[in-house]
Amino acid sequence: MDKALKPIGPAAMAVQGDISKLDELDRIYTQIEAAKGRIDILFANAGLGDFQALGSITEESFDRTFGVNVKGTLFTVQKALPLMRGGGLISLTGSATATMGS
């Protein structure tokens, strides 16, 4: 991530974590607030796919996929809002698989 941030400049910050776990999101935003004080741009880019035949999908696989793709994305944005008082930009990206199929 450091290599990707270098061209953006020193004001940018990237933090890695598991967005399907709310305690991880709390850790991430505490770290950001301590280092930067606020968020100007939130780029949420996380998603996974566990491609299986319909009859083979397990509850564990379902929970992992929805934990990242749905729950994680929602709470990533929700928990960022207090650090975006006064404005900012939120960018969410998803998978092209939805439009292309697999």
Residue 100 lies in a domain: no
Residue 83 lies in a domain: yes
pLDDT in tens, 54-100: 999 999 999 998 888 889 999 999 999 999 999 999 999 876 666 66
Instruction: Note the pLDDT of residue 5.
Output: 83
Domain boundaries, position 87: 2-94
> Is the pLDDT assigned to residue 30 strictly greater than 80?
yes
Residue 6 lies in a domain: yes
- Rounded distance, CA 49 to CA 37, Å? 34
CA distances from 96 to 17, 27, 49, 72, 89 (A): 23, 30, 11, 18, 22
Residue 101 lies in a domain: no
Residue 18 lies in a domain: yes
Residue 88 lies in a domain: yes
Q: What is the CATH number of the domain that holds 35?
A: 3.40.50.720
Q: Specify the number of domains making up the chain.
A: 1
pTM given for the model:
0.79
